[in-house]
Structure 1
Amino acid sequence: MRESVEADFRSFMTSRWTRLLRTAYLLAGNHHDAEDLAQTALTKAYCGWERVRRADDPDAYVWRIMINVHRDRLRGIKLREWLTSWLPERAAADGSERVVVRGALMQALGRLSPKQRAVVVLRYLEDRSETEVAALLGMGVGTVRTHSARGLRRLREDSALSENIAREVVTR
């Protein structure tokens, strides 16, 4: 019986790991924290696997666990790390501008409120519907629309992000 449950969880975990890790990276901002976040979410899901497995949407259940873990982790952070995409030397055009743009995007996402960031990541980078995002975050669809609109407006108004995107377009 126990082996069947473990095999079921292992199958679930391996089939969703890549997508879960990608979402965790977009929430956390770096690969190390993303792995910790995804592993913690899966650990919590494993501890309550019977409940998760019986849920209407086990994926949404695990994503919700991950978002809650991320939110709890942010509450405890007093000193934030600021990732930078600035390098001391300029290399020849080798596609590194995409890394710079990605860094600028991650910094811009980091400047959003946690709710706006979660909505923008789930809605536009994970390509989820408004109702899915609302269910995952435990808020109304109207609230998702509001956070989405405000988050996108702040991203559009972010001068550092705009400059990096313009530079990427020019170098292509």
Structure 2
Amino acid sequence: MIEPVPDSFDAFARAQAARLHRAAWLLCGERTQAEDLVQDTLAKVYVRMHRRLGPRLENPAAYAQTVLTRTYISGRRRRSSTEVPYADLPGLDAEGSADHAETTDLRLALTEALAGLAPVDRAVVVLRHLEDLSVEEVAGALGLTPGAVRNRSMRALARMRKEVLR
């Protein structure tokens, strides 16, 4: 028999879903993969929140962010994570032209630059600059030293600048 979802987790999931989805989309670069990543994350958080043994979660939102990032990184290590079934260009009108060419070009360039980074570097950039976490928070979430976070961030941003400004 399936137990009903407690109100506390339901409220937590509703409150955090948009933030987790935004971070997941920035990590994955694709909506469907981001949705899957958020679902995997919420499933893991649910299990952890309802574990009868062990300490209770002090900060479930931070735990969810850490789980999201680590799940993304471990998923990228799989060989199947680089498969691309087809290449479609979404967002085009009936004639095949885009209305917002400049912003679309910038968005595509940034998305491509993010995609060109290693999974850990991408996670550092997303958490540090787009989720606005401190160096120490990113280091704790990824299991790195603060110096490694600063170094990875600096090098990843330099690679992205070079890619976008080409």
Q: TM class, shorter-chain normalised? A: 0.7 to 0.9
- For structure 2, the residue ranges without an aligned partner over 5 or more in a row are none
Total equivalences in the alignment: 157
Residue 169 (structure 1) aligns with: none
* CA shift digits 1:52-89 (9 cap, x unpaired): 992232111111111121112111134433867697x7
Gaps of at least 5 residues in structure 1 are 164-172
**Corresponding residue SS for 1:11:** helix
Q: TM-score, normalised by structure 1?
A: 0.80
Check the 8 A contact 1:134/1:141 in 2, yes or no. yes
Range with greater deviation from structure 2 (77-86 or 106-115) = 77-86
The question of whether the paired residues in 1 share the 8 Å contact of 2:117 and 2:156 is answered with yes
- Residue number in structure 1 paired with 2:97: 91
Identity, % of aligned positions? 38
1:135 aligns with 2:137: no
Q: How does 1:5-20 map to 2 (within 5 A)?
A: 6-20=6-20
The Cα RMSD (Å) is 2.6
Q: 1:20 to 1:44 in 2, by over 3 A?
A: same
1:32 alignment partner AA: T
1:130-169 correspondence to structure 2 within 5 Å: 130-158=135-163, 161-163=164-166
Cα shift at 1:47: 1.3
Q: Would the aligned equivalents of 2:73 and 2:120 in 1 still touch at CA under 8 Å?
A: no
Amino acid at match of 1:61: Y
Q: Which TM-score applies when normalising by structure 2?
A: 0.83
1:56-135 matched pairs, under 5 angstroms: 56-78=58-80, 79-81=82-84, 91=97, 94-135=99-140
CA distance in 2, matches of 1:144, 1:122: 10
Which one has the bigger helix percentage? Answer: 1
Alpha-carbon distance in 2 for matches of 1:138, 1:147? 13
Residue 44 (structure 1) aligns with? 44
